[in-house]
Structure 1
Amino acid sequence: MTVADPQASSSCAAPAGAGLPRVLHFVTGGFSGATQIALELVQAHRASGNFEPLLVLRRKRHTDPARIAALRAQGVAVEVVAGWSHAATVWQLMAICRGFRPDILVAHGFSEHLWGRYAGLLAHVPHLVHVEHNARERYTRLRLAQALWLGRRTDAIVGCSEGVRQSLLQRGFPVEKTLAIPNGIRLLPYVQAPQHPLAERTPGIVMAARFGRQKDHATLLRALALLRERGHAPPVLLAGGGKVGARRAAERLCRKLGLDGQVRFVGFCDDVPGLLMTHRICVLATHYEGMPLSLIEGMAAGCAVVGSRVTGVQEVIDHRRNGLLAEHASPASWADALEYLLRNGAEAARMADAARADAQRLHGLETMAGRYEALFQCLLRGGPPQ
């Protein structure tokens, strides 16, 4: 099944005079890319006026109460359920469903899509949607059996890229329910990117990604050590939260490689657009992705971009046209890509311009939100996912 079309047929339009349908988005409280997408959809629903949304987060050890308070201060309806046990998660979410009475429950990411749909079934939510955010999730045989069982009771299964859709089909999810809706970002914060020509920016590298086993900070750091041997020592900013243990491991490796004065760990950054638009290169070293938001943000900011050659990233970067692909987990390949951009300013600027044009044309939030809302309208009308 192809990407959902926001210009869906009239048979999928909302019935005239119907009350505002309610949509509950359930996602991890770890503020990962999946959380960002769920939040953006909730805000898009508020802006469009087509749905009444509620965001429910599953509490993690590093869930920041200040960020939740900030969302509520912005008028976003947010609830938090326990994350210490699966049973507690399901029970509390079921209670929220019975109070909010959603027409559609959208369960984002592994393993939240399991517990969210169990709660939805128990609360008799009319329509369930599963959104897969990565091409390679930690499915055990039991978890996959659960997901396939739930898939037969789910109205639509969405991959956040075509690569993720293909991975779902390979695992046995039903083809007639499985579609791709690529992730999008808010483009407005990047409108000033043309005012920052690449040649006038800090000749540095930014990787804005949470620390965890999915992201490959180690390969990037080893590539920087190789670059230093070749006479290049660009300043590097590593922005993002995530798991403390993963960040400490990266810091230890940084010290071991002698990169302390070159690499800065800046932690959570509340102005990623500003950071990107003042630096030349945006990178994402990763082991697997669904649809890499941090790279799309770098593209929108007018950066020259480099990403690991993995599913998801390969859908965003067209090698040597709008960026560079480096071989997965290969410090030498990463060093080669970074050196090419550092040595060839004109080529870097050409690819950065193409990347920015692609981000504006293909990866806007409005496009993504329109496709989700068209899907929801079809489900409410009893039609098949489109």
Structure 2
Amino acid sequence: MNDIPLIVHLIYRLDFGGLETLMVERINRMPAGAYRHAIVCLTDYNPAFARKITRADVEVHALHKQPGQSPGTHAALWRLLRRLRPAVLHSYNLSAVEYGPAALLAGVPVRVNGAHGRDHGDPHGTNRKHNALRRLMVPFYDCCYANSAAMETWNRDVIRVPAHKSRMLANGIDAERFQPRVPGAAALPEGCPFGPGDFVIGTVGRVQAVKDHATLVDAFALLRTRRPDVALRLAIVGDGPLLDSLRSKVASLGLENVAWLPGARTDVAQILHSLHVFAMPSIAEGTPGSALEAMASGLPVVGTRVGGIPEVVDEGVTGTLVPASDPVALAAALETYVLAPELAARHGAAGRERVLRKYSMAAMVAAYHGMYDSLCERKIKTRGAVTSCAE
């Protein structure tokens, strides 16, 4: 039997997305001799994305959960955990929080839940039913961390996570992979319809309601009417349930020839090299990994003043903050960079320095590694002998 402790990562679906990307990065980078890893998807996984896992010993399991309560999924997870015998269950977000009791009954000694953002149908965390479920689950977890200070405060104040179970674990970015474009290097990724003289405003992220891409499209349309003298272009990169409707909105505004919505891509670092400004119009966020990638790539960020975005974007230094769901304010902020490329360059350079100083990949991996170590040391007396359950 392998004596390296196993961590089971429980996620709704393994697919292209910020949370999923950073989870895989941590798995790939954590020392192989410290922990083994397995990923359990409540629903299913995208094989193309799963190929981003570079460690050969990582198994991916799918429980094929159906919509609704699906009590059979709890039983299926219990059986799988009994077979895998992990030291840690690490569940992610509201969609997986309810499986803490199944892990406890399966004898998993350490149980962790991470708040990486709220449900897209409840971006501000006001849904009483959801919050009641979160509170109900707190006793079944040894740690309920958040990936932004704003989310940690909400966890403590609204969900009533006690101090000894609360942590803040910031996202990290691979600053080796995401770097500013070298002057003179080819900037346009494959399939990109834009030219070298275009000014490209872009964003990367899952196309769902909480990201509010519709406001970005409206702001872009406003900006084009205000600056007809500039070859403005828009890139929205990512897949999701609202991609088709967003493409329809683009068409209805007559923007098909100046907007590019390619869906999910694996060449995000190169795509960022084709942008001049990065926009983040979300109505709720944790620590925005895509904004950090843009900053590491030397781009100024125009983001909304919600969740963890103000923690990342230093207003007037690395970018600009605007109210959520306000296309007029968003258009005005974007116009500032259109008219002042030297300001864009200065804010982009400051953004990269901020990422290197505060949001390194090594620091993120070390923080998660430290969390697992401290919880296992506290809960596991000797290998195979466990302390009592939920506190």
Shift, 1:19, TM fit = 4.0
Structure 1 match to 2:169: 181
Q: Which amino acid aligns with 1:89?
A: T
User: What number of residue pairs does the alignment pair up?
Assistant: 359
What is the SS of the residue equivalent to 1:152? helix
Distance, in Å, in 2 between the alignment partners of 1:197 and 1:344 is: 21
What is the SS of the residue equivalent to 1:110? helix
Shift, 1:140, TM fit = 4.1
Distance, in Å, in 2 between the alignment partners of 1:23 and 1:137 is: 30
Structure 1 match to 2:23: 38
Change (3 A) 1:278 1:93: same
What is the SS of the residue equivalent to 2:334? helix
Written as runs of structure 1 = structure 2, the 5 A alignment for 1:72-83 is 76-83=58-65
Shift, 1:82, TM fit = 1.9
Shift, 1:88, TM fit = 3.0
Structure 2 match to 1:51: 35
Change (3 A) 1:169 1:368: same
What is the SS of the residue equivalent to 1:130? strand
Change (3 A) 1:26 1:311: same
Structure 2 match to 1:92: 76
CA root-mean-square deviation: 2.4
CA contact (8 A) 1:42 1:55 kept: no
Distance, in Å, in 2 between the alignment partners of 1:143 and 1:194 is: 43
Q: Which amino acid aligns with 2:305?
A: R
Distance, in Å, in 1 between the alignment partners of 2:103 and 2:262 is: 39
Q: Which amino acid aligns with 2:111?
A: L
What is the SS of the residue equivalent to 2:202? strand
Shift, 1:181, TM fit = 0.6
CA contact (8 A) 1:205 1:236 kept: yes
Unaligned runs of 5+ in 1: 1-17
Structure 2 match to 1:165: 152
CA contact (8 A) 1:38 1:55 kept: no
Q: Is residue 320 of structure 2 the alignment partner of residue 324 of structure 1?
A: yes
Structure 2 match to 1:134: 117
Q: Deviations over 1:325-361 (max 9, x none)?
A: 1221111111111100010011110000000111122
Written as runs of structure 1 = structure 2, the 5 A alignment for 1:241-260 is 241-243=239-241, 246-260=242-256
Q: Is residue 7 of structure 2 the alignment partner of residue 23 of structure 1?
A: yes
Distance, in Å, in 2 between the alignment partners of 1:327 and 1:145 is: 29
Task: Say which structure, 1 or 2, has more relative contact order (CA 8 Å, 6+ apart).
Answer: 1
Shift, 1:89, TM fit = 2.5
Which of these residues, 239, 260, 268, is aligned with residue 237 of structure 2? 239
Q: Which amino acid aligns with 2:152?
A: R
Change (3 A) 1:70 1:300: closer
Distance, in Å, in 2 between the alignment partners of 1:142 and 1:222 is: 33
Shift, 1:139, TM fit = 6.5
Distance, in Å, in 2 between the alignment partners of 1:196 and 1:325 is: 28
Shift, 1:71, TM fit = 4.0
CA contact (8 A) 2:24 2:52 kept: no
Structure 2 match to 1:264: 260
Q: Deviations over 1:162-197 (max 9, x none)?
A: 111011112122222111011112222124x25248
Structure 2 match to 1:315: 311
CA contact (8 A) 1:205 1:282 kept: yes
What is the SS of the residue equivalent to 2:24? helix
Percent identical pairs in the alignment equals: 25
Change (3 A) 1:174 1:188: same
Q: Which moved more, 1:131-140 or 1:288-297?
A: 131-140
